[in-house]
Amino acid sequence: MAENPTVPPRGMLIDGELVPASDGAVLPAENPTTEETAGELPDATPEDVDRAVKAARRAGPAWAATPWAERAKVLHAYAAVLEDNLEELARLDAIDGGLPLTSMRADVRGAAGEIRYFAGIAGETKGRTIPSGPDALTYTEFVPYPVVARIVPFNHPVKFIAAKVSAALAAGAPVVAKPGEQTSLSALRLAELVRDVFPAGVLNIVTGSGARAGHALSSHPDVPRVAFTGSVPTGARIMAAGAPTIKHHSLELGGKNPLIVFPDADPVRAARASVAAMNLARSMGQSCGSSSRVFVHRDVKEEFLAALVTRVGELRVGDPLDERTDMGPIAFRAHYEKVTGYIETGRKEGADLLFGGGRPTGLDKGFFVEPTVFADVSMDMTIAREEIFGPVMSILDWDDYETMIDEVNMLPFGLTGNVWTKDISLALRTARRIESGYISVNSAGKRPTGSPFGGFKSSGIGKESGLDELLSYGREQSVTVTLD
């Protein structure tokens, strides 16, 4: 297996300066491939977070007053920094998060694309006029929030920290962002790279634990707007932390996403798409949108399972820095233990382990798990009900449509759904029945730029990645003027 690459210590970006934690605290960054330390990250104190919030608030009025086309130019320069440093940033995520280099290159490209998209629509932060009769004029203005907190998870490290700040910045709101503490090395390199791109205080990046840095940010009385991507329990804690100061929250949370295969679907295509939609090759199933519950009609079950096992067997598990690798290790030890615990529970609860379930041969070190497929899963099993966020697929079979739809909708999650049938009316009627915020029909779940994404039920509040997200970083002020 690979040698252990090491990364030099780097500072957080606060008020245009690269700084350590004020008490000198650091957290180790573990390389999940070698199980050795790859580097470290500052563990921001509440005082550091407070300095970042104050810096953002100071920078806010000038940034909001900057014409949108000028802000867009800055965002294009920001995207160019990512594109110019694609290889280094992608490698950092492969080292720190175990994510395959090839997919992390795609993540950096995707992040740059999203930043450019929001730069392009920044001018949509416009107002309206409201009919007010001959003697008055009523209009509205978009007023950006004076600071936005952006807290993101570990699974798409550079993509999330880089791109998920861009809508707020395009809207004229300065940002304090925090990456997942398990994969912060690329965020710290990004902090260095973009230090001179933005005016001081417009983009601040703090690192550290959720309990210390994350909580300080999400409970800060001067932060009126918190945009969070992560798990349902943390989302609930963030809402509670923001309640005393009535913060505006948007929450992109977990899922246990259904993929439905009808009897007329091509079982081979559907099986291959279910592996792609599971994001096994991209992120080892550590993806909110992973189709981890596959409902296959009994008429096509046999062919579907055969094609699924063939496809999963083609995936190469190994060193994420190797260009040929499809799947690296799980991102960090605690998560590895959680994922393997679920596999054990699946076996104990009587699901049929069709593929994987263990450590891949030849990989004695690192948090590696084989891609794992359980068949004959039922909705009373833990692996069908809880988000595993790892390379574990649960296959359920069905023959009664209404029972299947009830099972699809019986969980508190509602992030994505996926439908496979040649009957387009049936597909669209079924899409309407699925209680999820994003539905794919006969596709592996790839979304075009600008399509709104966000969950129903406990999977979240609000929509990201489109115009709604841009507009969510400001408030609408109405003004009525009497005409003399």
- Contacts of ligand NAD in 271-300 (CB under 6 A): 288
97 binds ligand NAD (CB under 6 A): no
**Does the footprint of ligand NAD cover residue 210 (CB under 6 A)?**
yes
253 in contact with ligand NAD (CB under 6 A): yes
Comparison of 151 and 305: residue with beta carbon closer to ligand NAD? 151
Burial of residue 219 (number of CB atoms within 10 Å: 0-12, 13-18, 19+): buried
- DSSP for 331-365, please give it: SSHHHHHHHHHHHHHHHHTT-EEEE--SPPTT--S
Distance of closest approach, residue 251 Cβ to ligand NAD, in angstroms: 8
Are the C-beta atoms of 29 and 37 separated by less than 8 Å?
A: yes
Cβ distance to ligand NAD smaller for residue 152 or 307: 152
Is residue 270 exposed (0-12), middle (13-18) or buried (19+ Cβ within 10 Å)?
Answer: buried
Give the DSSP H or E segment for 105: helix 101-121
| Contact status: 50 vs ligand NAD (CB under 6 A) | no
- Closer residue to ligand NAD, CB minimum distance, 318 or 390: 390
Span of 234-242, 270-278, 303-311, 322-330 interacting with ligand NAD by CB under 6 A: 234-242
User: Which residue in 210, 201, 163, 188 sits closest to 469, CA to CA?
Assistant: 163
DSSP class per residue in 175-190:
EEEE--TTS-HHHHHH
Q: Of the candidates 179, 186, 21, which has an alpha carbon nearest to the alpha carbon of residue 96?
A: 186
Instruction: Tell me, yes or no, if 288 is annotated catalytic.
Output: yes
197 burial type by CB count under 10 A (0-12 exposed, 13-18 middle, 19+ buried): middle
Nearest CA-CA partner of 456 in 475, 476, 432, 474: 432
Q: Is residue 254 near ligand NAD by the rule CB under 6 A?
A: yes
Number of residues that bind ligand NAD (CB under 6 A): 29
Distances (CA, A) of 142 to 409, 463, 473, 476: 37, 18, 9, 5
Helices (H), 178-319: 185-194, 215-218, 232-242, 267-277, 280-283, 301-314
Strand ranges of the sheet holding 460-461, from the earlier edge strand across to the other edge: 17-19, 12-14, 203-205, 175-178, 148-151, 225-229, 248-252, 460-461
Pick the stretch among 232-240, 336-344, 359-367, 370-378 that binds ligand NAD (CB under 6 A): 232-240
3-state SS class at 229: strand
Of the residues 40, 252, 387, 464, only one is catalytic, namely 252
Instruction: Rule CB under 6 A: choose which of 49, 112, 151, 175 binds ligand NAD.
Output: 151
Which residue of 31, 33, 34, 155 would you call a contact of ligand NAD, by CB under 6 A? 155
Q: Which of 30, 181, 288, 464 is catalytic?
A: 288
153 binds ligand NAD (CB under 6 A): yes
Residue closer to ligand NAD by CB (options 164, 311) is 164
Asked whether the beta carbons of 172 and 202 are under 8 A apart, the reply is no
- The residue type at 96: D
Residues paired with residue 250 on neighbouring β-strands, in sequence order: 227
Q: Would you count residue 416 as binding ligand NAD (CB under 6 A)?
A: no
230 belongs to the binding site for ligand NAD (CB under 6 A): yes
DSSP summary character for residue 415: S
Q: Interface with ligand NAD by CB under 6 A: which range of 125-133, 251-259, 274-282, 376-384?
A: 251-259
**Residues 295-334: x/- map of binding to ligand NAD (CB under 6 A)?**
----------------------------------------
**Closest residue to ligand NAD, Cβ-based?**
210
Residue range at the interface with ligand NAD (CB under 6 A); choices 96-104, 121-129, 223-231, 256-264: 223-231
Q: Among 78, 262, 389, 438, which residue interacts with ligand NAD (rule: CB under 6 A)?
A: 389
For tokens 């809508």, the residue is 167
Minimum distance of ligand NAD from residue 362's CB (angstroms): 28
Choose, by CB under 6 A, the member of 45, 234, 440, 458 that binds ligand NAD.
Answer: 234
Catalytic residue at 370? no
Query: Between residues 113 and 199, which has the closer beta carbon with respect to ligand NAD?
Result: 113
Residue closer to ligand NAD by CB (options 183, 372) is: 183
Question: Which residue among 115, 173, 205, 238 contacts ligand NAD (CB under 6 A)?
Answer: 238
Decide: 55 and 17 in contact? Cβ < 8 Å: no
Q: Which of 103/218 has CB closer to ligand NAD?
A: 218
Residue nearer to ligand NAD on the CB measure, 180 or 466:
180
3-state secondary structure of 220: coil
Specify whether the CB–CB gap between 261 and 267 falls below 8 A: yes
In the complex, the smallest distance separating the C-beta of residue 387 from ligand NAD, rounded to whole angstroms, is 5
What residues line the site for ligand NAD (CB under 6 A)? Answer: 151-155, 178, 180-181, 210-211, 214-215, 218, 229-231, 234, 237-238, 252-255, 288, 387, 389, 415, 455, 460
What are the residue numbers of the active site? 252, 288
